[in-house]
Structure 1
Amino acid sequence: MQILFLCTGNSCRSIIAEATFNHLAPAHMHAMSAGSQPTGEIHPKSIALLQAKGISTEGYYSKSWANLPQTPDIVITVCSHAAGETCPAYLGNVMRAHWGVEDPAKVSGSEEEIQASFEQAYRVLSARIAAFLALDLAVLNDRVVLQSKLQAIGQIMS
């Protein structure tokens, strides 16, 4: 099963979700991430956060949804801008869900406040990913039930 985490910039939330998912997922599941308007670089605080959590950052980079190596089975948007954007036609009839998370890259304030926003994004995304990975095989094979579960998982706040 291929999961695509989609965001506008593909520098923070979608990268954090991709790396965390791949770190936790069984071998038959894989995540990728992309952006509709990628920044071209991963936010340094995203890299530092993932490394602090013991999650590899090797091979991850900011990329466009126009250059996906595979067609995903599920597209999960993680920012409000991407939720309203149209996915490319070649993605076909893929399942979609929205797991909105505040953008830590847009937070201003003290270093502690900025770091706390990255931690919060990670907590929310990792809780949602864990809930997804806890679904049993019967749910994963039932598109109607899975769609409902994906929407519910998007409401988990940590």
Structure 2
Amino acid sequence: MKKIYFICTGNACRSQIAEGYAKTLMPGWEVRSAGVEVHGLNPYAVRVMAEDGFDISQQESKLIDPNYFVACDVIVTLCGDVLDKCPVIPANLTHYHWNLSDPAKTHGDDAEILTSFRKTQALIKAHIQEII
């Protein structure tokens, strides 16, 4: 079974969204996400994924597992911050870098924050469909 790892800074939204999509859209793959820090699962990520019919409410924010990291076939980094802080990615692994802004840093009312999360969510879904 092929393994894919989605990694961002706090494993709160971008990588959680990616994991949620990949678990359904990439059958036959072992899918995990992690961060260089643990920020907890962002409720807006849960909310926008539910709008698209994906339940990520039981996912947890986790730190990078070094054993899984080196056993992966594909590593996906989702922001520049994690690319700088991530362990060195072995040359034999496929690496994708999606430099996505953090929707959790959006300031404004509920509608503005949701719009930011939906934009990031759409980009992630499109990128995963490109991998497939």
TM range (shorter): 0.7 to 0.9
- Secondary structure (helix, strand or coil) at the match of 1:56 reads coil
> Who wins on radius of gyration, i.e. which is larger?
1
State percent identity of aligned pairs: 29
Question: Residue type of the partner of 2:12?
Answer: S
**Pairs aligned (count):** 130
In the alignment, what sits opposite 1:11? 12
TM-score by length of structure 2 reads: 0.88
Q: Deviations over 1:57-94 (max 9, x none)?
A: 254110000366572111110011011224168x6842
Alpha-carbon distance, 1:37 to partner = 1.1
Quote the Cα distance in structure 2 between the aligned partners of 1:69 and 1:61.
Answer: 16
**Are the counterparts in 2 of residues 37 and 64 from structure 1 also a CA contact under 8 Å?**
yes
- Residue 34 of structure 1 pairs with residue 34 of structure 2: yes
Q: Over the residues paired in the alignment, what is the CA RMSD in angstroms?
A: 2.0
In the alignment, what sits opposite 1:46? 45
Q: Deviations over 1:102-154 (max 9, x none)?
A: 10000001211110000001100000111111xxxxxxxxxxxxxxxxxxxxx
Question: Residue type of the partner of 1:50?
Answer: M
In the alignment, what sits opposite 1:80? 80
- Secondary structure (helix, strand or coil) at the match of 2:32 reads strand
**Are the counterparts in 1 of residues 16 and 56 from structure 2 also a CA contact under 8 Å?**
no
**Are the counterparts in 2 of residues 7 and 34 from structure 1 also a CA contact under 8 Å?**
yes
Question: Residue type of the partner of 2:26?
Answer: A
In the alignment, what sits opposite 1:21? 22
Question: Residue type of the partner of 2:102?
Answer: D
Quote the Cα distance in structure 2 between the aligned partners of 1:97 and 1:69.
Answer: 17
Question: Residue type of the partner of 1:18?
Answer: E
**Are the counterparts in 2 of residues 36 and 82 from structure 1 also a CA contact under 8 Å?**
yes
Structure showing greater relative contact order (alpha-carbon pairs closer than 8 Å, 6 or more residues apart):
2
Distance verdict in 2 for CA 1:117–1:58, change over 3 Å: closer
In the alignment, what sits opposite 1:57? 56
In the alignment, what sits opposite 1:117? 116
**Are the counterparts in 2 of residues 77 and 98 from structure 1 also a CA contact under 8 Å?**
yes
In the alignment, what sits opposite 1:128? 127
Give 5+ residue unaligned stretches, structure 2.
Answer: none
- Secondary structure (helix, strand or coil) at the match of 1:3 reads strand
Give 5+ residue unaligned stretches, structure 1.
Answer: 134-158
The structure with more strand, counted as a fraction of residues: 2
Quote the Cα distance in structure 1 between the aligned partners of 2:81 and 2:44.
Answer: 21
